[in-house]
Structure 1
Amino acid sequence: MNKISMEVLPGEYWWGGAVSDGIHMPFGKASFSRGLDPNLTANQAAPVLVSSKGRSIWSEDPFRFEFEEGQLRIESGSSSDIEIEEQHGDLRGAFQAVQAKRFPAQGHIPHETMFTRPQYNTWIELMYDQEQHRILEYAEAIIANGMPPGLLMIDDNWQEDYGTWEFHPGRFESPRRMVDRLHELGFTVMLWICPFISPDSAVFRELSGRGYLVRSEDGTVAVREWWNGYSAMLDLTNKGAIAWFEGQLNRLQDKYGIDGFKFDGGDPLYYRNSDLCAERTTANGQCEAYARIGLNYRLNEYRACWKLAGEPLAQRLCDKAHSWETNGLASLIPNGLSQGLMGYAFTCPDMIGGGEYVNFMANSDKLDQELFVRYAQCSALFPMMQFSAAPWRVLDQEHFRYCEEAARLHVEFGDYIVSLARHAAQTGEPIIRHMAYEFGDGHFAEVNDQFMLGSDVLVAPVIRKGAAEREIRFPEGAWRGDDGSLVQGPCVQTVSAPLSRLPWYRREA
């Protein structure tokens, strides 16, 4: 067991650990603790911490960390060293030093379409009623209502069963014709997938006999509860299990023309460090092995991930509530920024309006149209943006028009965002950046409601209900607004932000 304790320096702030804790970052002032063995949050995590004073902490294995009374304490149950680096100047210096050494950029990006066009996911709109005619109706309505076509994800329950990765014949009479039609409409098509196997199935019996399933400590096949019931889990340390799974995915591409996959599940929550697997691993290790499969598919999306920062994997924020609070809209920026500061540059916020379906359905008869618009605006200048609930259906014409404008703004910025993605693939730098990363003078560490898109575009979404203006902290230099205004920084300025406006500013040369 390794333990270290170090003093938090005056004015020092920290980021890292688990992406879902972005709403609590920066660490250093208030008490906070998080254990990463295993990562029990619903999003990405990594054994890394970086500070505004140019310090970083890394371990090959998960650790527990705690900020308490001016001290940072770290404890690891493994024999791996806890490495501390110092004297890298500021937050950017600390990140770049640990990134280059521990999770270097791999030189590739996910498919460009993920950045240049809006994404449309069928989950909230159709939920478990994924049917061919309904999916085509959704896609046709996107075009008919003037929204730009993009990437369409067919979500859970298109398949016969978990592990039986074939279109359900009762709901999809001609999957190939459906996919061909979606392509004709201008969509790229992805399918939801997971590493779980329904236990009462022929596939379960086959894979169990081959030894491809995770076993509990007592040697029996592990059947665990997840959000859709109880399932067994592929052992992704087993090369035969990986080959079987990839064979299913490749068949779907060859037979139906599917372009890529939304890789859901795989959370460390559903595994145990004591599980019996083909190769010795941990709960986090199974999550990492699942994410490695996505490296073979340029069109991929993950929500849970352990390590693998720097790799060309699209990483979505976990399901958010239809809420203004930190379980909803208010979490998008701080959690998205925390992704970047852990090396997960290719980030996507959750579905616009909120993708946590139980909460969304509970609010379906009283949707907040203002909130829906602000969700869309906040997402518009993220690397990716994703719709699900059809805005033309749930909003009146005025509010829908604002969402359409947000989607078109994302398309306008598409080439710029792709250029930043390619830069991230070469350097590891985040695409959306914390103000403290870009302007490391100590005045921006606690600014969690605005961000930089690259080095030259400052984005300041409205995240407070009823607000028609907002305060923006401008760095040094001249900043030209989307409304044509010119602001000379450094300064703090209150700007007009009616519902029709997403405030953003470009640095003047």
Structure 2
Amino acid sequence: MKFTDGFWQTRPGVESLFAQEAYDVEPRSDGRSIEVTAPTKVIASRGDTLNRPTLTVALSSPMEGVIAVEVTHFAGGRDEIGFDLVGAEGGPAGVGVVEETEGGATLTSGRLTATVGRGAPFDLAFRDGDTVLTRSGHKSVGYHRVAADAQVDGAMLGNARAGTGRVLAPSYVSQQLSLGVGELVYGLGERFGPLVKNGQTVDVWNADGGTSSEQAYKNVPFYLTNRGYGVLVDHPGHVSYEIGSESVERVQFSVAGETLRYLVIAGPTPADVLDRYTRLTGRPAHVPAWSYGLWLSTSFTTDYDEETVTAFVDEMAARDMPISVFHFDCFWMREFQWCDFEWDARVFPDPEGMLARLHERDLRVCVWINPYIGQRSKLFREAADAGYLVRNPDGSVWQWDLWQAGMGLVDFTNPDATEWFQGKLRELQAQGVDAFKTDFGERIPTDVVWHDGSDPERMHNWYTQLYNKAVFDVLEEVRGEGDAVVFARSATTGGQALPVHWGGDSTSTFESMAETLRGGLSLAMSGFSFWSHDIGGFEGTPDPDVYKRWTAFGLLSSHSRFHGSSSVRVPWAFDDEAVEVTRVFTKLKLRLMPYLYAAGLESARTGLPVMRPMALAFPGDRGAAHVDTQYLLGDDLLVAPVFSADGTVEVYLPAGRWTNWFTGEVVDAGSGVWRTETHDVMSLPLYLREGAVIPLGARDDRPDHDYLDGLTLRVVAGPDAERTVTVTTPDGTSADFVVTSRGGAVSVDSAASAAGRPAPHLERFGQGWG
């Protein structure tokens, strides 16, 4: 949201007041926080203290390496919900150490120090050691009064189709932090434009806008930069960002109201920032091995019954294309009644028997749900009478016709409503359902009353966290920790703890395939580790080239699902080559399960995503900084999907030597090189890092098995070294393998932790062994 008109003026209807000096800089009595009185005029005489708005800037530290800043105009407002900062420690005072200096005060937390100086101009600097990471200088802390007819960019936000616009508020608090020369900004959730956010206006406001717009399903008010820090705005509602777009040398973020709270998070690397950020807001949950296998869907509006489902499963098996999960989309329930949690008896007369028969095929089952209840459903009146639906200010149930006719919205701020909703899910799990696709969660109105009195504006984005957590918790309750999976579309900060998420409604084109990847990489830079997308695209029917290229990409993602809107995505619906592509890449992924499962466990420990943007994996490499058409899968596999029918693709190889997975060819990238390659549909740029050791499973028919039985360690040529590889099986058994490469010879020592297991097969891979 832009408040200024160029460098000197404000926009019509806007009055902007800025912190002009730090008049008082006072350590609080707890010794761990600082309070700054920041008038909006330099105080030259006693008379200047009168009739003048003043801002209070408070500094504290909720966690080592994190400093929180709270800017307040009027402090008499009610306490509002912020994010669940589950990693906060030290109580209200935090964990920082305050030191008064001659010119002001410092707050130190781990390697991060905030220094605020007394006097004018206002200056607050954040340092890592002697290095200034960013600072809040002159005219950077603002309070804005906005007239109803003000000309402010971004005045109407959200999804017009959903009726969730945000009109101008009478006041805003804003903060600008400096951007250094060459500093690049990443994150802010799932965004489908360029991965680097510099020059963009971004509104954090969940909306069902598809993947081809500036709107996003998963909005996260957190960004990180290549300068070694991140920033989280602790505000679940609308946050507007101007990223070098209003003031080209600063990032600005603003919220409606009287208070703004943000947290600066230390690095020094992007991975370190994500480690601290996910420790603070929630680590990704451990996901089960079976969820990494191929998911096959009925698609959305296609006609299907048990005979159709069985035919799909039989044909996949007959063509040797292993699937792990079968997904039933919306029409497993009767039309007009979503969600009533009841199988449509006209096409599924024996759901328990059908689910049992699918389980006998060694398949898991996922079903679609959403948090709405259509008026035709008998559950609508049940929920309305019990007070489980969101209400209008006059006490009536909020309803609309966009999606299900007359639908209401479950109020997850009501514990009884949450328990009621979870009870329906328990019944489905008792029938044999293993996972839930939690669709929607973005179309949340702002003109309603919530059971717990929450501010509707703040609940708009936060609702998805309550919704997904209600579902995830009941899955974990029934299935046990480590075996719960939601397949969620919407999210905000903290949502990474409730995996898996998918990329929303794309179209069936190469362009949409590329924007889908950009959204996933942006989400990864926002702390989300497990991600999927609709292979082939959702809207429309892909041509065979798009389908086959998207299949290779999808099966080299952390999670993989075939899904469409009005047409099915079974491979034989395209051509025989599509069947072969599906077979080859499904089996490749299944062979990679020991490697991928280990990457998932690392994500749960550190917050490092399974699919890593190049800027995250190779910090400091300027050639990688803007790349958003490829990624690192785990530590050692570089994947560059093909976005063209003729197979032409550009791939960036960072410094070092890279080995082609399919041919064994070694490419010496020097200090980093771009290559133009051409691949048929059975291939794509898939490169192994120099010296990598990749654990490969013996089976290519399922993702969940004993990875230590028949294990192969693929050792890539590289410098003489000793590397330890840990392989963990789905039942929790772990074995460490110490692989030594020296003078072209390779050996493995696994006696310490793999007693009683056969030694793994060692495979020297690629050219360059001498």
TM-score, normalised via structure 1 length: 0.90
What secondary structure is seen at the aligned counterpart in 2 of 1:408? helix
Higher strand share: 2
Amino acid at match of 2:642: V
C-alpha distance in structure 2 between counterparts of 1:38 and 1:80, whole Å: 22
Of residues 25, 30, 36 in structure 1, which corresponds to 2:204? 36
C-alpha distance in structure 2 between counterparts of 1:286 and 1:86, whole Å: 25
What secondary structure is seen at the aligned counterpart in 1 of 2:619? coil
C-alpha distance in structure 2 between counterparts of 1:491 and 1:134, whole Å: 49
Task: Return the offset for 1:87.
Answer: 6.2
- Classify 1:230/1:145 alpha carbon distance in 2 versus 1 (closer, same or farther; 3 Å): farther
Aligned equivalent of 2:531: 347
Matched, 1:306 2:479: no
Amino acid at match of 1:289: L
Provide, for residues 64-111 of structure 1, a one-character-per-residue CA deviation record: whole Å limited to 9, x for no partner: 10121343211012555443537633433433343333x2315x3122
Provide, for residues 141-176 of structure 1, a one-character-per-residue CA deviation record: whole Å limited to 9, x for no partner: 221222102111111011242232111111112111
Q: How does 1:18-417 map to 2 (within 5 A)?
A: 18-19=189-190, 21-28=191-198, 30=199, 32-37=200-205, 41-61=215-235, 62=237, 63-67=239-243, 68=245, 69-78=248-257, 81-83=260-262, 85=264, 88-101=267-280, 103-105=281-283, 108-115=285-292, 117-124=293-300, 127=301, 129-160=303-334, 161-254=337-430, 256-267=431-442, 269-272=443-446, 274-281=448-455, 282-296=459-473, 297=475, 298-325=484-511, 328-349=512-533, 351-356=534-539, 360=540, 364=541, 367-388=542-563, 389-417=568-596
The answer to whether the Cα contact below 8 Å between 2:233 and 2:263 also exists between their aligned partners in 1 is: no
Q: How does 1:461-472 map to 2 (within 5 A)?
A: 461-467=641-647, 469-472=648-651
The answer to whether the Cα contact below 8 Å between 1:22 and 1:334 also exists between their aligned partners in 2 is: yes
C-alpha distance in structure 1 between counterparts of 2:311 and 2:401, whole Å: 34
C-alpha distance in structure 1 between counterparts of 2:265 and 2:420, whole Å: 45
- Classify 1:443/1:100 alpha carbon distance in 2 versus 1 (closer, same or farther; 3 Å): farther
Provide, for residues 16-64 of structure 1, a one-character-per-residue CA deviation record: whole Å limited to 9, x for no partner: 2230x24232111x3x212225556452221111111123211221411
Task: Return the offset for 1:263.
Answer: 1.2
- Classify 1:17/1:230 alpha carbon distance in 2 versus 1 (closer, same or farther; 3 Å): farther
The answer to whether the Cα contact below 8 Å between 1:226 and 1:270 also exists between their aligned partners in 2 is: no
C-alpha distance in structure 2 between counterparts of 1:444 and 1:273, whole Å: 45
Amino acid at match of 1:353: G
Task: Return the offset for 1:228.
Answer: 4.5
C-alpha distance in structure 1 between counterparts of 2:596 and 2:614, whole Å: 18
Task: Return the offset for 1:224.
Answer: 2.7
Matched, 1:432 2:611: yes
C-alpha distance in structure 1 between counterparts of 2:393 and 2:425, whole Å: 30
TM-score, normalised via structure 2 length: 0.61
What secondary structure is seen at the aligned counterpart in 2 of 1:191? strand
Task: Return the offset for 1:429.
Answer: 0.7
Between 387-396 and 157-166, report the one with greater CA deviation: 387-396
What secondary structure is seen at the aligned counterpart in 2 of 1:26? coil
C-alpha distance in structure 2 between counterparts of 1:420 and 1:459, whole Å: 15
The answer to whether the Cα contact below 8 Å between 2:312 and 2:570 also exists between their aligned partners in 1 is: no
Between 203-212 and 405-414, report the one with greater CA deviation: 405-414
What secondary structure is seen at the aligned counterpart in 2 of 1:301? coil
The answer to whether the Cα contact below 8 Å between 1:110 and 1:300 also exists between their aligned partners in 2 is: no
The answer to whether the Cα contact below 8 Å between 2:441 and 2:463 also exists between their aligned partners in 1 is: yes
C-alpha distance in structure 1 between counterparts of 2:401 and 2:491, whole Å: 19
Amino acid at match of 1:98: Y
Between 486-495 and 60-69, report the one with greater CA deviation: 486-495
**Which consecutive unaligned segments of at least 5 residues does structure 1 have?**
none
**Which consecutive unaligned segments of at least 5 residues does structure 2 have?**
1-171, 209-214, 476-483, 692-770
Of residues 594, 616, 628 in structure 2, which corresponds to 1:448? 628
- Classify 1:394/1:39 alpha carbon distance in 2 versus 1 (closer, same or farther; 3 Å): closer
C-alpha distance in structure 1 between counterparts of 2:683 and 2:296, whole Å: 23
C-alpha distance in structure 1 between counterparts of 2:323 and 2:644, whole Å: 30
The answer to whether the Cα contact below 8 Å between 1:136 and 1:178 also exists between their aligned partners in 2 is: no
The answer to whether the Cα contact below 8 Å between 2:529 and 2:607 also exists between their aligned partners in 1 is: yes
Higher helix share: 1
Amino acid at match of 1:276: W
- Classify 1:251/1:135 alpha carbon distance in 2 versus 1 (closer, same or farther; 3 Å): same
Instruction: Kindly tell me the number of residue pairs found equivalent between the two proteins.
Output: 487
C-alpha distance in structure 2 between counterparts of 1:59 and 1:133, whole Å: 50
The answer to whether the Cα contact below 8 Å between 1:301 and 1:314 also exists between their aligned partners in 2 is: yes
- Classify 1:496/1:246 alpha carbon distance in 2 versus 1 (closer, same or farther; 3 Å): same
Amino acid at match of 2:561: Q
C-alpha distance in structure 2 between counterparts of 1:142 and 1:487, whole Å: 37
Identity %: 23
Task: Return the offset for 1:475.
Answer: 1.4
The answer to whether the Cα contact below 8 Å between 1:14 and 1:50 also exists between their aligned partners in 2 is: yes
- Structure 1 residue runs of 4+, over 6 Å off? none
Of residues 411, 420, 433 in structure 1, which corresponds to 2:599? 420
Between 449-458 and 288-297, report the one with greater CA deviation: 288-297
- Classify 1:433/1:80 alpha carbon distance in 2 versus 1 (closer, same or farther; 3 Å): farther
The answer to whether the Cα contact below 8 Å between 1:16 and 1:338 also exists between their aligned partners in 2 is: yes
Task: Return the offset for 1:206.
Answer: 1.3
C-alpha distance in structure 2 between counterparts of 1:98 and 1:332, whole Å: 24
What secondary structure is seen at the aligned counterpart in 1 of 2:223? strand
Aligned equivalent of 2:178: 7
Of residues 633, 654, 658 in structure 2, which corresponds to 1:479? 658
Amino acid at match of 1:355: F
Task: Return the offset for 1:345.
Answer: 0.6
Larger RCO, structures 1/2 (Cα 8 Å, 6+ apart): 1
- Classify 1:138/1:401 alpha carbon distance in 2 versus 1 (closer, same or farther; 3 Å): same
Amino acid at match of 2:195: M
C-alpha distance in structure 1 between counterparts of 2:447 and 2:657, whole Å: 53
C-alpha distance in structure 1 between counterparts of 2:206 and 2:314, whole Å: 43
Amino acid at match of 1:280: S
Amino acid at match of 2:366: M
Task: Return the offset for 1:403.
Answer: 2.5
